[in-house]
Amino acid sequence: MLVIVAPGQGAQTPGFLAPWLEDPTFADRINWLSAVCDTDLAHYGTDADADTIRDTAIAQPLLVASGLVAALALFPHPADAFRVIDLAAGHSVGEITAAAGVGVISAEQAMVFVRQRGKAMAAAAAEHRSGMMAVLGGDPEEVLAAIARHDLVAANNNGPGQVVAAGTLEALERFSADPPARTRLVPLQVAGAFHTNYVAHAVDLLGGYARAITTHDPRTRLLSNRDGHVVHDGREVLDRIVTQVSSPVRWDLCMRTMEDLGVTGMLEMPPAGTLTGIARRALRGVETFALKTPDQLDDARAFVEKHGEGGPVEGNPTWRLLVAPTKGVFSLAAEQAAGAALAPGAVVGNVRSGRDDLQVAAPHGGTIVEWLVEDGDPVSPGQPLVRLHPVSAQ
């Protein structure tokens, strides 16, 4: 089982796009996305120094564009990707890359949105002298307690041995002078305390942009940073990306869902290395592939064919699927036979596990075509539960 992942801010390094831009097709696509987001991505991906590409307004479009264009290099015929990809996820701004990659929004929508996201977050971060610091190692409970004691926030929980503390630079300095036992602290190349209330001003602005964007349901299972759940409603995907700006990234829960599903291979899009590095420590037995340069593409395709099975979700314009957000046992809310009409927002049941008890609703309503599970069935994350005709088709 294959998961494709997209890294977040901090993964960029000076010159990482240079080998990719030797391909004229890749260069043309980067130039097109540069025009869309009004940013010279080729320059920033080749000639700019580390301090320049640390700028949030530059780093975020650069990351999303590089991931999307590399995905087209990996899958020249994009429809072929959904034959083999079982799952997709992105870390922080990488969620935009993942959302566009699975068809929730177009590449052009993604680039305009990420440009505004980067600008909004940079402006919000500039209001405070804040930053982020990776805390490597240590006892997890002691690390979280120390972060709270120094008035910091655990902005990213990336799994065992890697938590990111965020807050004011003064608080980070105090934390550095009094670190948790058996830890190593690494300042991150970001411009502010992202995924905290320090950038909350950006959420309302981005929410307005998001409401203007037309979305589609993902064409494969897509994980959310908020809680590791599979989200299959395109509007909810985008709404979650907006609110995630000021909420912690729970990559640890995303990896837990990967374990629940039995992922065997993780391929990271460029600039790759961060998420596969975490996976090597946290997902034992999962093979990883960090796609860094174009000379790896043939090996990457072989990796995809080795691990990819193709998920249960397929795009179809004539019906919608409701899927399980997490692993658990499905319970019907009420008996609803094929042909029954559901109002928008109607709850069809819930999925209960040891960690969650989640309602499953039909956000757009529709007519039940067929049930794909029965009351009391165990379900896996992203498993289709019921097929609906959308209201517009009635």
Query: Where in the sequence numbering do the catalytic residues fall?
Result: 92, 195
In angstroms, rounded to a whole number, what is the distance separating the alpha carbons of residues 387 and 370?
Answer: 5
Q: Find the distance separating the first CA and the last CA of the chain, reported in whole Å.
A: 36
In angstroms, rounded to a whole number, what is the distance separating the alpha carbons of residues 6 and 394?
Answer: 38
DSSP H helices in the chain: 24-37, 41-46, 50-54, 56-74, 81-84, 94-101, 107-126, 140-149, 169-177, 201-211, 234-243, 251-261, 274-282, 297-307
> Residue 182: how many CB atoms within 10 A of its CB?
11
Can you say how many angstroms the Cα of residue 394 is from the centroid of all Cα atoms in its chain?
34
In angstroms, rounded to a whole number, what is the distance separating the alpha carbons of residues 237 and 223?
Answer: 9
Q: Phi/psi at 163 (nearest 5 deg)?
A: -120, 145
Q: Phi/psi at 360 (nearest 5 deg)?
A: -115, 120
Strands 366-371 and 346-352 come out as unpaired
Residues paired with residue 388 on neighbouring β-strands, in sequence order: 320, 368
What are the tokens at 225? 């940073």
Provide the sign of the torsion angle of the four alpha carbons 185, 249, 12, 124, taken in this order.
negative
Q: Phi/psi at 66 (nearest 5 deg)?
A: -65, -40
